[in-house]
Amino acid sequence: MTESQSFSPDGRPRARALGLHPAGTPGPWNAITDVPGVEVGYRTLIEGVGPLRVGDGPVRTGVTAILPRGRDGVGRPCAAGRYSLNGNGEMTGTAWIDEVGQLSMPVTISNTHAIGACHTGTIGWINAVRPDLSRQWLLPVCAETWDGYLNDINGQHVTPELVGAALDSAQSGPVQEGSVGGGTGMNCYAFKGGSGTASRLVEFGAQTYTVGVFLQANFGSRQELTIRGRRVGERLTVANPQESTSWGTAPDQVPAAPGGSGSVIVILATDAPLEPLQCKAMARRVPFGLARTGTTGSLFSGDLFLAFSTAGDRASDTGFPIGDPSGDELVTTARMPWNRMDSLYTAVVEAVEEAVLNSLIVNTDMTGRDGHHSPALPHDQLLAALVEG
């Protein structure tokens, strides 16, 4: 194992450092950035303590930015497909992806009420770095999960400028996890959740392809949590205020939300040559990886997944045509044979499972609005529970 496969950039242990080794072979960084060209950036906001005052905080939120082909590849299409396990969420730009099977825009992920800021911020950023693209239309992908348990979600703290800064910060290399970027205020299985990533290498003849996953984990109830096939959630002696106590303070106090509320966004990248239907088939395998960690898919969890392939880099063919049509414009692409897709499906499931574990393990306690507390998954108790069986 490499250092990056087992430890986060700031030195905190990931799942592998605790001896948890989901099946499969990870890439050098065990991250979505193992797929050549993919870049990830963050901006994180953690400010204030005490009672909620809308517009003032406390603030526990941020933005995650993913550039499928890096900064220089904005506007160049990737084959893409998406899948919705449960539609109680938002991912913009997907109607166009359904129509043409392509993703050529950045992806941003934040909180539910920041979709507009992410959309506006991405368009402003593209107008600054690629003004030629913004002369026609832009349909960026902006996705969300709800961080209102810890964050002043209605305070409009995520701004278009913050989104632009997240996009500017995108880079290759090891990826920070846990309470960072859009995952800052998120919870998973009633523990502190957030951003997680992992990758898998897939051999195809003499070629080795990479499957990379990035997810924003904000789903699952405590009793469901399953790690390496063992139901451990109820065996961990850690307070569970998110599911057991009322939220807020009088006169605005409300009952706790049902267990499993929240959402999960999964972005899947690969350099294997895929057509859009194969990307969609990859996205449809994401739930199997999530299920390995215990979730049964709550109605109150928006579970939305997007897969894209960076193979076959070429210019866009969806803009306004120029001049008369020519045979030179015909597009020829290569793709994996359908009867060889199973190894890629397996890689998706393995990487999704590990990314969820990393989002939980690379984390610390967080207290947010109105004193709401989200405990970190306790490493010592977890390992003891796994040993006991």
Bridge partners, 265 (sequence order): 216, 304
> Which one from 301, 309, 359, 374 is the annotated catalytic residue?
301
Question: What sign results for the dihedral spanned by CA atoms 378, 379, 385, 389?
Answer: positive
Cβ 199 vs Cβ 27: under 8 Å: yes
Active-site annotation holds for 263 = yes
Cis bond before residue 140 (omega within 30° of 0): no
Active-site annotation holds for 271 = no
> Which one from 8, 263, 298, 359 is the annotated catalytic residue?
263
d(CA 53, CA 92): 29
Neighbours of 373 (CB within 10 A): 17
Cβ 121 vs Cβ 88: under 8 Å: no
Cβ 142 vs Cβ 122: under 8 Å: yes
Q: What residues contact residue 197 under an 8 Å CB cut-off, 6+ apart?
A: 30, 31, 32, 33, 40, 175, 177, 212, 213, 214, 215, 355, 358
Q: What residues contact residue 207 under an 8 Å CB cut-off, 6+ apart?
A: none
> Which one from 147, 271, 303, 370 is the annotated catalytic residue?
303
In degrees, to the nearest 5, what angle opens at C-alpha 144 toward C-alphas 378 and 345?
A: 75
Alpha-helix runs per DSSP H in the chain: 3-6, 94-100, 115-129, 160-168, 241-244, 276-283, 286-291, 342-361, 379-388
Known catalytic residues are 263, 301, 303
